[in-house]
Amino acid sequence: MPKTISDKIEQWLTLHRQRTVEHQRPQVTLCYAQSWDGSITIRAGEALALSGDGSMRLTHLLRSLHDGILVGIGTVLADNPQLTVRECEGDSPQAIVLDSGVRIPKHARLCQRQGQKCWVVSNKEQPEIARDDIELIRVASSDDNRLDLEQVLAKLWQKGIRSIMVEGGAQVITAFVKAGLADAIVLTVAPRLVGGYKAIDSLGLSQKAELPRISPIYTQTLGDDLIMWGELRYGSEND
């Protein structure tokens, strides 16, 4: 029997993890949906459901294959996502939000999960707000005054997280790629032209040889969507 795309991606992810050198940090998979022109939404801060039903089920399967699921506070404020596994068997990954100012609202769906507090990563030493609906993880600031992603991953590793899926948004996806910390990508390309907010912003690179590359690559259609997946390679790994 031919394998389904879900079986193929699950097998690929398992092999990719076995091949990856142990870094003492969780393995990071970027997983998001974009239009044919690379937009993830019309305008930053607005929700736009781009994936078809099959791709949505695949996203839920991918969630179930990771220990943690990470988004930026921009995505929480725009989409109020649940980030749970509902369309297939499997456990929901630990929800993690990059949120320096601890702006996540108490009524956010991520703060309503039974038996699993949302982990909120901040660089503030003493946030004024005392919250019992979230677990705060403190890390240092990066040079650009954002959260230092290497430290974020180190803290998650200490807490037993071995793999995370990064679902967005654009600022967070860009930051992981820029830091060379995204190991693999599963991209849903929906047949729309949006002319909107792009998944990847400037990486500050000017030479073709420096640009992150995806190799080997795999593609398959799922309903009207195109699913593309592969490992990310940086710098000298490009050769």
Comparing CB distances to ligand NAP, the nearer of 22 and 170 is 170
Residues in the chain: 239
* Residue 144 to residues 53, 101, 163, 179, 182, Cα–Cα distance (Å): 38, 15, 25, 12, 19
C-alpha span between 137 and 96 (Å, rounded): 10
Which of 36, 45, 210, 235 is close enough to bind ligand NAP by CB under 6 A? 45
* Residue type at 103 in one-letter notation: R
Stretch that binds ligand NAP, among 5-13, 19-27, 43-51, 86-94 (CB under 6 A): 43-51
Residues in region 61-100 near ligand NAP by CB under 6 A: 71-75, 78-79, 98-100
Instruction: Report if residue 40 touches ligand NAP, rule: CB under 6 A.
Output: yes
Nearest distance in Å: CB 110, ligand NAP = 12
In this structure, are residues 118 and 134 in contact, taking their beta carbons and an 8 Å threshold?
A: yes
Nearest distance in Å: CB 12, ligand NAP = 20
Site string for ligand NAP, 113-152 (x = CB under 6 A): ---------------------------------xx-x---
Structure tokens belonging to residue 22: 């142990």
Instruction: Report if residue 46 touches ligand NAP, rule: CB under 6 A.
Output: yes
In this structure, are residues 181 and 28 in contact, taking their beta carbons and an 8 Å threshold?
A: yes
**5-9-12 Cα angle (round to 5):** 140
Residues in region 159-198 near ligand NAP by CB under 6 A: 167-172, 175
Comparing CB distances to ligand NAP, the nearer of 165 and 207 is 165
Nearest distance in Å: CB 84, ligand NAP = 15
Comparing CB distances to ligand NAP, the nearer of 168 and 230 is 168
Structure tokens belonging to residue 81: 């996502």
C-alpha span between 6 and 69 (Å, rounded): 18
The per-residue b/e assignment along 34-52, b for 16 or more CB within 10 angstroms, e otherwise, is bbeebbbbeeeeeebebbb
Nearest distance in Å: CB 170, ligand NAP = 4
Interface residue list for ligand NAP (CB under 6 A): 32-33, 40-41, 44-47, 50, 71-75, 78-79, 98-101, 103, 146-147, 149, 167-172, 175
